A and B are shown apart, each in its own frame.
Chain A
Amino acid sequence: MKRSRGMGLYCAGLYAFLYLPLGVMTAFSFNDAHRNVVWRGFTFKWYRVLFADAELMRSMLTSLELAAAAAAIAAVLGLLASYALTRHKAFAGRRAYSALLDAPLMMPEVALGVGLLSFLVRAGYELDFGALACAHALICLPYTVGSVRARLKSMGEEHLEEAAMDLGATEWTAFVKVTLPLAMPAVVSGCLLAFTVSFEDFVTSFFLAGIGIVTMPIKVYSMMKFGVTPEINALSVLLLAATALLLALNAVFASGPDEASRA
């Protein structure tokens, strides 16, 4: 169909636009030139520079720890909240809880950052790793809730916990032996999204990272302000690969349980 082909071309153009920066940084991460725009031949040099950069590696570790802490907190809070929202019979305030749990998605990160900054400083709290982890857990929470809640809801239609309880299990046993194992892929999937959100977060960390804490995006930002260096291209490519891997893992976990329950 001719009309369809025109649209297909248009969409291809749009995808080219979306992928242009990703392609450019990948190409230039292998470029043997300090100035970015001229192609001087293929090299792995910038990847070696990257791994030799101790400060950058330390910031990477900080970001990993931060993302792990934030995702863990968000997973526990999200699981408890999702369970009450999907399994408990209707109670006053349920809609208010729902709206509250989605609030961090709509809150501009600048507002969140300056709000927490002024709150913590005025309360006399030193900005530290703990404060940053709490803030990251907050922005991660809607992702774990979203994932776990959807899974618990679709599981609810199969009445598996009720079957377990009819067979004599207590609520607690049913939760440990039925709910938790079946919901686990969604918990993992929510954690992966939360981890990605925290790991990539720049704005919240920018306002809350006191003097001592340098997350990887903050380090990259200061390198960018300092000037163009192909090292950032190499790092970007690795991050891009990590993101794609996390998304692929997430897709596996998000689609896993249905096949598992059918088997």
Chain B
Amino acid sequence: MGKALSWLLGGRRPLASHLLLAPAAGWLIVFLLVPAAGLALLSLAKNGAYGQVIWTFGLHNYRRAFDAKYLPVLLRTFAFAGGTTALCLLLGYPLAYYLSFRAGRWRNALLIGLMVPFWTSALVAFYSWMIILGKEGLLNAALLRFGFISAPIGILYTPFSVLLGLVYFYLPFTVLPLYASLEKVPRSVVEAAYDLGAGRWTAFLKVTLPLSLPGVMAGGLLTFVPCLGDFLTAELLGGPRFYLLGNLISNQFLMAQDWPFGAALTCLLLIGLIGGLWVYRRWEAEDA
């Protein structure tokens, strides 16, 4: 027994390594890869009149995803993921910069301060946003009080509230990689730029910013990819009329009972995700 375990742990044979990795890899294959392959297969099937699956294969579900009814949802999702990423990068970069270069003894406290909203359940945070943005919410009450508006306006359940929710939720996802890459910028190089007569802006634009681009790309990727598949934000803050791809997929499975079409939409989402990863890897390989 002890001998067999020692052989397993020693790992002088590849078989021992594969055996130790088998439980985790098996888990991922059974619960991730096989279901994904199943979705790919399902996406080619046909939906019957009573929501049953008819196994005749074709690309009709994909054609349907690009018709006039559904294409706007795909484009909207792409635009919202892109817009959220851009906003998070623009808003988050100065914060990451401050944390890395300026925060001094406050840095650890501020970083921990970033972790609390990061780990707070989205359900909880969005519920609170519903209270703030609703018709009888705090924001409307404040605007009325100060006379900016004369009657409550619809802020919740609009594209704006969804974008706000996405930016709120993903901001820490952008800031943390940005901060990590700014930490790696050698301070001596920035000092050297100052010594050679560069002003603050020149030093930032010519030295710090280019050196932090890996963080910009990583933060962008970590925001863009999950945004494409986001479900909860539009579910809670978008109301019944404004929804994104994730909600459309969920509807096909839970309400419309059109699983093949839902599977095709999911495959499109996964293709978008793999595309995003591919662009990132290409950039990373070129940069290295």
Q: Is A127 an interface residue (CB 8 A)?
A: no
Q: How far is the CB of B140 from chain A (nearest CB, A)?
A: 8
Give bound CA distance, A172 to B179, whole Å: 41
Check if B231 sits within 8 Å of A200, measured CB to CB. Answer: no
Q: Is B91 an interface residue (CB 8 A)?
A: yes
Check if A81 sits within 8 Å of B34, measured CB to CB. Answer: no
Q: Mark A192-212, 1 if CB is under 8 A from B, else 0.
A: 000010001011001100000
Check if B14 sits within 8 Å of A36, measured CB to CB. Answer: no
A residues near B113, Cβ cutoff 8 Å: 15
Give bound CA distance, A97 to B31, whole Å: 15
Q: Is B89 an interface residue (CB 8 A)?
A: no
The verdict on A202 contacting B232 (CB below 8 Å), with A11-B94, A111-B270, A217-B121 known, is yes
The verdict on A76 contacting B23 (CB below 8 Å), with A110-B266, A111-B266, A236-B124 known, is yes
Q: How far is the CB of A210 from chain B (nearest CB, A)?
A: 12
Q: Is A64 an interface residue (CB 8 A)?
A: no
Q: Is the interface of B mostly helix, strand, loop or mixed?
A: helix
Q: Is A239 an interface residue (CB 8 A)?
A: yes
Number of A-B pairs whose CB atoms are under 8 Å?
247
Check if B20 sits within 8 Å of A80, measured CB to CB. Answer: yes
Q: How far is the CB of A11 from chain B (nearest CB, A)?
A: 5
Nearest neighbor of A179 in chain B, beta-carbon distance: B9
Q: How far is the CB of B104 from chain A (nearest CB, A)?
A: 10
Option from A11, A80, A112 in Cβ contact (under 8 Å) with B24:
A80
B residues near A252, Cβ cutoff 8 Å: none
Check if B28 sits within 8 Å of A224, measured CB to CB. Answer: no
Q: How far is the CB of B164 from chain A (nearest CB, A)?
A: 9
Additional 10 contacts, C-beta under 8 A, given A116-B35, A119-B38, A247-B115: A7-B102, A25-B128, A37-B141, A73-B27, A76-B23, A92-B14, A112-B32, A114-B249, A114-B263, A145-B24
Q: Is B148 an interface residue (CB 8 A)?
A: no
Give bound CA distance, A76 to B126, whole Å: 34
Q: How far is the CB of A238 from chain B (nearest CB, A)?
A: 10
Check if A21 sits within 8 Å of B5, measured CB to CB. Answer: no
Check if A77 sits within 8 Å of B27, measured CB to CB. Answer: yes
The verdict on A103 contacting B120 (CB below 8 Å), with A24-B138, A81-B21, A88-B16 known, is no
Give bound CA distance, A11 to B7, whole Å: 54
Q: Is A226 an interface residue (CB 8 A)?
A: no
**Restricting to A201-236, which residues have a CB under 8 Å from any CB of B?**
202-203, 206-207, 217, 220-221, 224, 228, 232-233, 236
Check if B229 sits within 8 Å of A111, measured CB to CB. Answer: yes
A residues near B269, Cβ cutoff 8 Å: 108, 110-111
Check if B21 sits within 8 Å of A109, measured CB to CB. Answer: no
Q: Is B171 an interface residue (CB 8 A)?
A: yes
**Restricting to B195-218, which residues have a CB under 8 Å from any CB of A?**
200
Option from A8, A37, A175, A246 in Cβ contact (under 8 Å) with B98:
A8
Q: Is the interface of A mostly helix, strand, loop or mixed?
A: helix
> Which residues of A approach B to under 8 Å, CB–CB?
3-4, 7-8, 10-11, 14-15, 17-22, 24-25, 28, 35-37, 73, 76-78, 80-81, 83-85, 87-89, 91-94, 97, 100-101, 103-104, 106-112, 114-119, 122, 134-135, 137-138, 141, 145, 170-175, 196, 200, 202-203, 206-207, 217, 220-221, 224, 228, 232-233, 236, 239-240, 243-244, 246-247, 251
Q: Mark B1-36, 1 if CB is under 8 A from A, else 0.
A: 011011101111010111011011101100110111
Give bound CA distance, A221 to B130, whole Å: 13
B residues near A17, Cβ cutoff 8 Å: 168
The verdict on A83 contacting B9 (CB below 8 Å), with A4-B102, A202-B232, A221-B123 known, is yes
Q: How far is the CB of B279 from chain A (nearest CB, A)?
A: 14
Q: How far is the CB of B216 from chain A (nearest CB, A)?
A: 17
B residues near A4, Cβ cutoff 8 Å: 102
Give bound CA distance, A239 to B117, whole Å: 12
Check if B116 sits within 8 Å of A119, measured CB to CB. Answer: no
A residues near B18, Cβ cutoff 8 Å: 91, 93
B128, B226, B262 pick with most chain A CB within 10 angstroms: B128
Q: Is B253 an interface residue (CB 8 A)?
A: yes
Q: How far is the CB of B274 from chain A (nearest CB, A)?
A: 9
A residues near B59, Cβ cutoff 8 Å: none
List 29 A–B pairs whose Cβ atoms lie within 8 Å, in order of A's numbering.
A3-B200, A4-B102, A11-B94, A11-B110, A24-B128, A25-B131, A28-B131, A37-B137, A78-B24, A91-B14, A97-B21, A97-B25, A100-B28, A101-B24, A103-B28, A106-B277, A111-B249, A112-B35, A114-B250, A114-B263, A118-B35, A118-B42, A119-B38, A171-B10, A172-B5, A172-B9, A203-B232, A247-B112, A247-B119
